[in-house]
Structure 1
Amino acid sequence: MLPKKRGVFVEAQTRIGHFPIMMFAIVMGMGGLSLMYLKAGEILGFPAFLGQGLLVVSTAIFLFIGALYSLKALRYFDAVRHEFAHPVRINFFSAISISMLMLAIGYKELSPAISALFWYSGTLLHLFLTLHTIAFWINHNQQLDHSSPAWFIPIVGNVLVPLGGVGFVPTGALFYFLSIGLFFWVVLFSIVLNRIIFHNQLATKFMPTLFILIAPPAVGFLSYLKLTHSLDTFALMLYNLGLFFTLLIAFMYKNFVKIKFFISWWAFIFPLAAMAISTMVLYSLTKEQGVLYLAYILIATTTIIVGIVIYQTLLHVKRGEICVQE
C-alpha cells in the first residue's frame, strides 16, 4: 500500500505544479453569476437567497483556488515566475484582482467590512498589475499572435473598480480608474481587431475570450452610471456597444459549439452576466418592456451556459484532464 500511496502523493504534487493561473477565470465566472442574481433580486424580484448563496460559493471557490495557487507558488516558484513572464499568461494574473473586486461588489450591501477588505486589496493589486503589464509590453517586444481579448483583463479591467468603490474613496479617484479602462479599451480593441482580421486567427483555446469583447462597454456603462447617475448619450452608447458585441457573438455561435473544452470556457460567463446586469439596470431606469424581455433572455442564456461549463469542468476533472502539462 505504501508505494501506491506515495504514487498518489507524487501525482498530486505534480498536478499542483501544473495548476494554471487561468483557473481564476472560474471565480470571475461564478462571481459574475452571483452579481447577476443579486441584481435580479433587487430589480426583478428574484429570491434573494439565489444571489447570496452563489456569492458564498464564489467566495469559497476563490479561497480554494487561491490556496492551491499559493501552494504552487511555495513549492514551484520558478513555474509561477515563468507564468508571470509569459506574454499570454501574464494577463490572467489580473483575474485574481478582478475576482476580489467582484466579491467586493457582491458584499457591498451584505457586509461593508468584507466588501472593503476585498475592494482595497483588489484595487491595489489591480493597479500594480496594470502598471506591471503595460511596463512588460513596453520592455519586451510583443508578437501580434500573442494578442487576444484576454489583454483586456489587466488593463480594461479597471472599469470594474468604481462599481465597488463608491463610499470608500472620493469619486475623483474612481474616475481615474474608469478613464484608464475606457481609454485602453479603445487602444487594445484596435490591436486585437487588427490581429483577428488581418493576421492569424485566435488559437482554439482562446476562442472563448472573444466573449470578453462584451465586458468593457457593459461594465463601463454600469460604472459610468454609478459615478454620474445620468443615463445620457455616452451611457447609452456604451450600453449599445455592449449589446452589439453580444449580438455579434450570438451570430458567430458556430465558432463555439464544437470547440474542445478548456478552462478558458469560463470566459463565456462574466461578460454575459455583465450584459444581463446592464440590461436590468437599463430597465430599472426606462421601464421599457423590450428591455425587460432582453434581460430575462440574457439571464436564462447565462444560466444555461454556466450549467454547461460547470458540467464540462467536472467531467474533465474526473477524467484527470485538468492541471496537466501543456
Structure 2
Amino acid sequence: MSETTAAAQASQEPMAEKPVLARLSIAMFGMVMGIGGLSNAWGAAHRVLGAPLWISQVLLALAVLIFCALVLAHLAKLGFCFAEVAQEFAHPVRSSFFPAVSVSMVVLSIGLRAYALPVAHGLWWAGAVMHFVLAVTLIRRWILHAQDESVLTPAWFIPVVGNILVPVGGVPLGYVEISWFFFSVGLIFWLAFFTIVLHRVLFVPVMSQRSMPTLFILLAPPSIGLSAYLAFTGGQAGALGDILYCLALFIAILLATLWRHVAHGPFFMSWWAMTFPADGWAGASIAFFHARPSVYTQVIAFVALAVANGIVLWIAVRTALHMASGAAFRED
C-alpha cells in the first residue's frame, strides 16, 4: 500500500473523539441560572402571593448541587484540558457564556441569603468581582478586535447586562454604593447593545437554530433591571419602574408570538438561555404587583410564574434526554 493511499484512508477515518471532560460546555452554567432563578421567583411568590416555601427550597438545593458539580468539573477541565478552555474562551460566541458562572454565584447568593448569610456574602463578592473582570476583559476584546456581526447573538448581553443583577443581591446585603456602580454600567451598556443586537436580528441573515433561543435574553435586562430598581427604592415603583415593567411585558408578548420559531429543531444546551430571562420576568412581575397591586398586575404575575415554570420544566426534561443519549457532550 502506498503512502498516498494510506494517507487517503486515514483522512476518511473519523477523528478520535475528545474525552467528556474536554467537551464540557461553559454554557451548562445556564442550568444553575435557570433553576436558581426559578427558586428566587418562587421565594418572591411565597412572600407576596403566599405560595409554598418548600418549592423554592427544593429548587435552591438542586441549583446549589448542580453549581458545585459544574464548578468541580470545570476546575478539572481547566487543569487537565487547558487548551480546550482557552479555545472556548477565544470563541466569539461561547466566550459570552463565561460570565454565566459569576451570574450563577449572584443568583445563588440571593436565594441563600435567608439560610446562610455568610455564604451569601461570599458568593455575592466572588460573583461581583468575577463578573467585573470578565466584563472588562470581553468588552476590551470587542473594542480591540473587529467583530463579525453574523455571529453576534443576544448572548453578548450576559457579560454586559449581568451587571444589572448584582444590585438585586447586593442592596439587601448592604452594598448599596457598589451596586449603583454595577447598575449604572449595566443599564447604559444595555441601551447600546440592545441597538446593536436589534440591528443584527433585523438586517443580518437569520441566526442558527442553536442561537435562536438566545433571543429570550432580550427579556432579561428590563426584567432584572426592574428588580434592581425596586431594590434601590425599597419596593417603590416610580416612573422608571413603570417603563421597565411595560417594556418587559411587551418583549414577553413578542417572544410568545415567536415561540415556534425560537424553540424548534434539534435541542442544544443553549436552550437554557430561555430559562433565566423567564425567571427574571416572573420575579420582577411579582415584585411589581407588590408595589402596584391591581387585578392586572396580579394576573400578569401569575402568568409570568406559570410560564417560567413551564419553560424550566420542559427544558429540564429535554436536557435529561439529551444527556442520557450522550448528545449533550458531543455538541460542537
Unaligned ranges ≥5, structure 2: 1-15
Match of residue 268 from structure 2: 262
CA deviation after TM superposition for structure 1 residue 169, in Å: 4.9
Report the Cα offset of residue 201 of structure 1.
1.2
Contact preservation (8 Å) 2:102, 2:131: yes
User: 228, 231, 235: which is aligned to 2:237?
Assistant: 231
Partner in structure 1 of residue 208 of structure 2: 203
CA distance in 2 between partners of 1:325 and 1:120 (Å): 32
Q: Any idea what SS the aligned residue of 2:179 has?
A: helix
Q: What's the CA shift for 1:228?
A: 2.4
Query: Which residue does the alignment assign to 2:254?
Result: 248
In structure 1, C-alpha distance between the alignment counterparts of 2:25 and 2:164, rounded to whole Å: 25
Provide the aligned length of Structure 1 versus Structure 2: 316
Matches within 5 A, 1:1-326: 14-166=19-171, 168-229=173-234, 230-324=236-330, 326=332
Letter in 2 for 1:274: G
- TM superposition shift of 1:170: 4.3
> Could you tell me how far apart the structure 2 residues matched to 1:324 and 1:167 are?
41
| TM-score using structure 1 length | 0.94
User: Contact 2:213–2:263 (CA<8 Å) still a contact in 1?
Assistant: no
Distance 2:264 2:133 in 1: 37
Contact 2:215 2:262 in 1 (8 A): no
Q: CA offset at residue 173 of structure 1?
A: 1.9
Question: 3-state DSSP class of the match of 1:205?
Answer: coil
Letter of the structure 2 residue corresponding to residue 290 of structure 1: Y
Q: TM-score, normalised by structure 2?
A: 0.92
Identical positions, percent = 36
Comparing 106-115 with 123-132, greater Cα deviation is found at: 106-115
Give a deviation string over 1:63-105, Cα, whole Å, max 9, x none. Answer: 1111111111111101101111111111100000000000011
Amino acid in structure 2 at the alignment position of 1:209: T
Once residues 256 and 132 of structure 1 are traced to their aligned partners in structure 2, the CA distance between those partners, rounded to angstroms, is 30
- Residue aligning to 1:6: none
Residue 256 of structure 1, CA deviation: 2.8
**Matching residue's letter, 2:138:** T
**Deviation >6 Å, runs of 4+:** none
**Can you list the C-alpha shifts for 1:250-291, whole angstroms capped at 9, x where unaligned?**
011221342221101111111111111111111112220121
TM-fit CA distance, 1:172: 2.3
Please list the CA deviations of residues 112-144 of structure 1 after superposition, one character each: whole Å capped at 9, or x if unmatched.
111001101010000100100111111221110
AA of the residue aligned to 1:30: I
After superposing the two structures, state which structure 1 stretch, 227-236 or 45-54, moved more. Answer: 227-236
Q: Aligned Cα RMSD in Å?
A: 1.4
Which shifted more, 92-101 or 311-320?
311-320
Q: Provide the rounded CA distance (Å) in 2 between the counterparts of 1:168 and 1:287.
A: 26
Range with greater deviation from structure 2 (199-208 or 162-171): 162-171
Partner of 1:128: helix, strand, or coil?
helix
For residue 146 of structure 1, report the CA deviation from its aligned partner. 2.1
